[in-house]
Each structure stands twice: as C-alpha cells, then as structure tokens.
Structure 1
Amino acid sequence: MFTMHPLLEDDGKAIRDPVWGYIHLPDPLLALVDTGDFQRLRDISQLGFVHLVYPGARHSRFEHSLGVYHLAKQFLLRLLKSDPPLQLE
C-alpha cells in the first residue's frame, strides 16, 4: 500500500462544482485558493465571448482550475492504486 500525500487527502473544505460535484480541497491547497491572485480567476472567462452566442455558456478560469485539480487528483490516485503498483517518487 502507499502513503497518501497531504494534497491528495479529502480533508479540508469541499467546494460544490456543477460538473464534478464536490471537490475536496486540503488545507495547504485551500491556502493557495484563498490568495488574491487565485481569486482573480473568478473574473476571467474561460470561454471568452462565447456567452454572446450561447447565453448559458459561462465558465470562469477559477472553476476551470478547480476542475483540472480534481481530474488530475483522480488520475494520480488511479495510478497510485494500479496493479502492479507504479514506483512514483
């Protein structure tokens, strides 16, 4: 079995995402998300001017970044739990 890295833990805070459900952010990552630079991503559109053609197309870089973290975490967890186990260091 492997030792869970603190950034892969499900403790800390859960943020509701419309696509992925609840995304769990451990305390070290939550400190990063709480910075002004990261919060600024809320005001930057991921889709540019697409909302002018499709009014429901609203997605910020903030939401996108949280979703990317979630998917990367799921991918890494599957790699770590694979059989035979990978030697990732």
Structure 2
Amino acid sequence: MTGTLTRADLADALHSEIGLSRADSGEFVEQILAHMCNALADGENVKIAGFGSFVLRDKGERIGRNPKTGVEVPIAPRRVLTFRASQMLRDRIIDAD
C-alpha cells in the first residue's frame, strides 16, 4: 500500500474485515477519533498498545532567530503534540524495508 491512509480507508477496512455496514463503520471511526481528540484537548495523553503514544508537551518561551535576517525573536510558550511509536510498530516498520 502506498499513499496516505484516510478515515475512509479505515471505515472500508472495518466494513470488509468485520462486516459492519458502511455507515456504521464510518461512524465508528469518527467516534474513535473524536474520543482521542477530546482526550488530547483535555490535556490527557493517548496510548494505543502495540501502536504508540500521543503525548502533549509544554514548551517554554525561548529565543529564536529569523534565518533570513538573523534577527532574534522571542518564541511564545506553547503546547505541542508528539507521537512516539511503540517498539512493536518500530520493529514492523524496520522489517517492512
């Protein structure tokens, strides 16, 4: 498989592999993603065993530099979302090469 895995692809997989109707499959995917988004918005991390973890980190204020002009500018503190793949997923990716 090449390209990008989409919500529709996930719903199609549920439909073909589990036998849910197309409408139910799409709704199921939407509910899972909405639950994950709500948890992250509430400041919780999301861990999916065998896949990886979505982790929120707070980054402090720091000084950055405009690469074009060299002028220093302050970068405001912010919250960033990072993904850390599980060892199982890393092993599968390496073996896929």
Q: TM-score over 0.5 for the alignment?
A: no
Larger radius of gyration: 2
* TM-score of the superposed pair, with normalisation by structure 1: 0.31
* Structure with the largest fraction of strand: 2
* TM-score of the superposed pair, with normalisation by structure 2: 0.28
